[in-house]
Chains A and B, each alone.
Chain A
Amino acid sequence: MLVLGIESSAHTFGVGIVKDGEVIANEKSMYSIGTHGMLPSRVAEFHAKVAKKVIGNALQKAGVKIKEIEGIGYTKGPGIGTCLQIGLLAAKTLAYRLNVPIAPVNHAVAHIEIAKHFGKLKDPIALYVSGGNSQILKLDKLSMRYRVLGETLDIGVGNMLDSFARSANLDPAWGSTVERVAKGGSYMAMPYTVKGMDFTFTGLLTYAKRQIGKARIEDLCYSLQETAYAMLCEATERALLLTKSKELCVCGGVAQSTRLKEMLAKLASLHRTKFGYAPNEFNADNGAMIAYVAEKALKSGHAEKLDACTITQKYRIENAEVYI
């Protein structure tokens, strides 16, 4: 089946095309955050402007004509309302004009499923880390829903790194900037908070921000990153032992971090666990993961009626059924 997926939950407008479970196109256009962050209305405006072009690019890359598309997927949530609306509108328009079935997709489920696909994993513990999310999940085979084993009790790890970088006047592309600056740093003690399989980042962030100007920026970046990732690793390790799972994947925007993947690889080998992840273009928000999950939904007969297609800003992953 040839399925086109649209992702628009945050700053990325992404369009992916999947054919029989394989990604054949993954195009995107990203709203430039600059130093001002994301204004919901501006980002939505941007998405509306680039939508047609990105869809065209994806079709061209895949070498297919729009009339050949057999199904549409879109991000139902979680995400920024105004941005999700644009994706929904584009998806509904396409489904209506092409007269093909449509499937709403949970953004978090898509991140995990595409990591499983590229990592060649069947039933892993998933560490989902992005700007707004930081969760440890496992699929419950009875309800076919992801169960949250542990999560951040306040902010996502990506937002934490971004917020620090902005306060320290580091360049945009914040998470990767922190990782780059961290290379010359040495360790200084910072607040470390893990509660079972949950963790919190605001205490760490506040402390690190207060040290700006007092300590070397390299040391701050290094210690902030090491502390935050060690917290994620400890909680993940607990989840692995609790569930006796022998597979682990990492996904979401922060999964682009080389250091985090290195730490998780060491953690996995400590417990003889298979570790996998997607290439970086699929860790960042992308349309291919939406198309990938939508194809499975459509193939298993779970198309949604056009009029019933909506968005949900706070679409918790536990409420999304998974189709394999």
Chain B
Amino acid sequence: MRLLSEGAEAKIYLVSIFGTLLLVKKRHAKPYRASQLDIMLRKMRTKKEAHAMLVAKNAGVSVPAVYATGSDEIYMELVKGKLMRDSAFDRKIIADVGIELAKLHSAGIAHGDFTPANILLTDKGVCIIDFGLAEPNAGIEEKAIDLLLMKRSLSKEFYLLFENAYAKAYANSSAVLRRLAEIEKRGRYQARTIANV
């Protein structure tokens, strides 16, 4: 088991099972919080994340396949590719990202942290990763936040391409876009820059 990356919530390991390489996302115990709360949070979030990934996969969204889950860990497919954040990308890729998000939202899921740091560019197209903050029963607000994060991460030209592709592919997109405009008018977001890492 080799540690690949460490986030605030979980660590990602590379493991080999019967000669196949897999990823394990494990939510370790946090000694600073009450143990009952700690166990509950890790269990609930792992379950929610795996559920969101499964629903997304079944809806035809490009996401890593979930092979197995434990109470605080998810075994998933190792998808090879480069992060969109660290890559050059063209208009086609931007449009594909918009279409993938449309499929995800159509399935009722909001990603929760939809930025180029959580999109892989692979030989077979784009792949959305890290469903740690995903909401499987998302409302319009959560979906609009997905767009907002992307808007803060892309140039204006690329964002509009992304938004167009999204709007065409998602039947309820006009409500989401209306909410996005509302969110942007809220004071907090004007005074403050969102960290888009």
Contacts and interface: CB of A to CB of B under 8 A. Distances in A.
**Do A and B come together as binding partners?**
yes
B6 interface: yes
A267 B8 CA distance: 11
Interface stretch (B30-38, B81-89, B97-105): B30-38
A148 B37 contact: no
A242 B9 CA distance: 12
Interface stretch (A22-30, A80-88, A230-238): A230-238
Interface stretch (B58-66, B153-161, B189-197): B189-197
B133 interface: yes
Contact of A230 (B37, B113, B195): B37
A58 B195 CA distance: 43
Contacts, number: 57
B195 A189 contact: no
A147 B194 CA distance: 10
Contact of A267 (B32, B34, B113, B195): B32
B41 interface: yes
A interface secondary structure, majority:
helix
Contact of B193 (A147, A227, A229): A147
A147 B197 CA distance: 15
Nearest to B145: A195
B40 interface: yes
B37 A270 contact: no
Contacts of B197: 242
A117 to B, nearest CB: 25
Interface of B: 6-9, 30-34, 36-37, 40-41, 113, 133, 188, 191-193, 195, 197
Contact of B33 (A153, A233, A241, A318): A233
**A-side interface size class:** 20 to 34
Contacts of A267: 30, 32
Interface string A233-273: 11001101110000000000000000000011011001000
Given A149-B195, A197-B195, A241 B7 contact: yes
B37 A233 contact: no
A196 to B, nearest CB: 7
A269 to B, nearest CB: 9
Given A189-B40, A230-B37, A241 B6 contact: yes
A274 interface: no
B192 A318 contact: yes
B8 A148 contact: no
B113 A187 contact: no
A289 to B, nearest CB: 23
A210 B133 CA distance: 28
A258 B113 CA distance: 33
A239 B22 CA distance: 29
A296 B33 CA distance: 38
Given A192-B41, A238-B8, A318-B191, A226 B113 contact: no
Contacts of A120: none
A302 interface: no
A241 B37 contact: no
A263 B33 contact: yes
B33 A226 contact: yes
B8 A270 contact: no
A226 B6 contact: no
8 contacts: A192-B41, A196-B133, A226-B33, A226-B34, A234-B8, A234-B30, A238-B9, A241-B8
Complex A-B, nearest 6 residue pairs according to Cβ-Cβ distance, in ascending order? A266-B32, A230-B33, A238-B8, A263-B32, A187-B36, A226-B34
A226 B8 contact: no
A187 B32 contact: no
A192 B34 CA distance: 13
A166 interface: no
A316 interface: yes
Contacts of B33: 226, 229-230, 233-234, 263
